[in-house]
A = this chain, B = another copy of it.
Amino acid sequence: MDINFSAEDLAFRDEVRDFFAREFDAELAQQLSATQGGDYKSAIVSWQKKLHAKGWIAPGWPKEYGGTGWTVTQKFIYETERGAAGIPDVVPFGLKMVAPVIYTFGTEEQKAHFLPRILSSDDWWCQGYSEPGAGSDLAALSTTAEYAGDNYIVNGRKIWTTFAQYADWIFCLVRTSKEMRKQQGISFLLIDMETPGVTVKPIVSIDGKHSLNEVHFEDVLVPRENLIGEQDKGWTYAKALLAHERTGMAEVADSKRMLSKLKQRAAEEVNGGTAMINDPVFQMRLSDIEMELMALEYTELRVFASMAGGGMPGPESSLLKIKGTEITQAIQELQLQLAAEYGGALQGDLSNQELGHDYAAEARSKYMYGRAATIYGGSNEVQRNVIAKAVLGL
């Protein structure tokens, strides 16, 4: 049992560090720290293009489609360094969510057309799963796709679509048959956002920002070649993708970075002459979280190591999602507590400098938006149902 790095691993780590230090410059960091506005899209795309140029854009993909071919250890090193450098993860919808479905279940034409554009970040994807009437009960969806001629005619409404306002494509679960049981009769469609009849309506979330949207479909024509796999079998493809998605939700490297920033700030925040980092009670609040994170890091490594031989992750991946999101929320909450009365200000026309605590506004918005983490991607209640059934056999 060891997580020793070989000489090659250490050399790889140095290469990653060097690359991040050189390419992820202060300007990029600044643009990406605000998670909305026009800047964000161009900033993250320009960063992803750099990663693509380096060949590092898709560590999770099979090598034949453009993956890195890294070992589990190399992936761990890469993620650890990315988190430590404060670099955001790639936008997942294309690279981590639809791409595995395309390269696993898609036709050769679909692979040839879509995968390169995902790798190069030329296409921005969004996810059309949730519907107003179907939240955690994903399969209760009612958006329909009627087959007529060589097209599907899509009608319905998707909701909670993150960054739909930037998207070129949306991958959707749609109902192609009403005769069958709920999970059957669902198909997996790729839809061009430019198609007539597609409209995007913004949703302002409780952090006061616009990341979420509704996407409406009114008689939208989708060519047959945009169907993934077989008609009515979409649920199978989506399910495989969900387990994949969950393994990415532990976000250990990002939580480590947040926690390390939190500790720095706790050393600077002073209450009655004592830095918060030296307060025994605050220390307990910190270590309650840090210890869970230390354990989760190894839980994730254990899952990755067991996947190293190949194959999709099992239902244990739900554990990573549950624990990862709970830890992220706990850090956000503690950050808000640390920000004290300074954390309530909406920025408006005030700069962070004027408020005197430059992380306080961020603490507020991260806390508020962070509440979504236990809701999306299959709520944590659903994840517990999954473990109860599939792991414990209850």
| A residues 263-320 in Cβ contact with B at 8 Å | 279-281, 284
Please name all residues of chain B whose beta carbon is closer than 8 Å to the beta carbon of A280 when the two chains form the complex: 279-281
Give complex CA distance A281, B288 in Å.
Answer: 13
Chain A contributes a number of interface residues (CB within 8 A of B) equal to 4
Give complex CA distance A284, B284 in Å.
Answer: 10
Closest to A285 in B: B284
A350–chain B nearest beta-carbon distance, Å: 35
Give complex CA distance A304, B280 in Å.
Answer: 40
Give complex CA distance A224, B379 in Å.
Answer: 57
Please name all residues of chain B whose beta carbon is closer than 8 Å to the beta carbon of A281 when the two chains form the complex: 280-281, 284
Give complex CA distance A341, B11 in Å.
Answer: 49
Q: Mark A82-111, 1 if CB is under 8 A from B, else 0.
A: 000000000000000000000000000000
A388–chain B nearest beta-carbon distance, Å: 16
Closest to A279 in B: B280
Give complex CA distance A247, B279 in Å.
Answer: 40
A272–chain B nearest beta-carbon distance, Å: 14
A282–chain B nearest beta-carbon distance, Å: 10
Give complex CA distance A281, B279 in Å.
Answer: 10
A277–chain B nearest beta-carbon distance, Å: 14
Please name all residues of chain B whose beta carbon is closer than 8 Å to the beta carbon of A284 when the two chains form the complex: 281, 284
Closest to A283 in B: B281
Please name all residues of chain B whose beta carbon is closer than 8 Å to the beta carbon of A279 when the two chains form the complex: 280
A284–chain B nearest beta-carbon distance, Å: 6
Give complex CA distance A279, B279 in Å.
Answer: 12
Give complex CA distance A136, B184 in Å.
Answer: 39
Give complex CA distance A281, B281 in Å.
Answer: 6
A180–chain B nearest beta-carbon distance, Å: 32
Give complex CA distance A281, B280 in Å.
Answer: 7
Give complex CA distance A233, B186 in Å.
Answer: 53
A23–chain B nearest beta-carbon distance, Å: 45
A107–chain B nearest beta-carbon distance, Å: 49
A271–chain B nearest beta-carbon distance, Å: 13
A117–chain B nearest beta-carbon distance, Å: 49
Give complex CA distance A279, B284 in Å.
Answer: 13
A374–chain B nearest beta-carbon distance, Å: 21
Give complex CA distance A280, B281 in Å.
Answer: 7
Give complex CA distance A279, B280 in Å.
Answer: 9
Give complex CA distance A281, B284 in Å.
Answer: 8
Give complex CA distance A281, B283 in Å.
Answer: 10
Give complex CA distance A281, B286 in Å.
Answer: 13
Give complex CA distance A279, B281 in Å.
Answer: 10
A302–chain B nearest beta-carbon distance, Å: 31
A151–chain B nearest beta-carbon distance, Å: 46
A41–chain B nearest beta-carbon distance, Å: 44
| A residues 237-282 in Cβ contact with B at 8 Å | 279-281
A273–chain B nearest beta-carbon distance, Å: 16
A280–chain B nearest beta-carbon distance, Å: 4
Pick the 6 closest A-B CB pairs, nearest first: A280-B280, A280-B281, A281-B284, A281-B281, A284-B284, A279-B280
User: What are 6 A-B contacts with C-beta separation under 8 Å?
Assistant: A279-B280, A280-B280, A280-B281, A281-B281, A281-B284, A284-B284
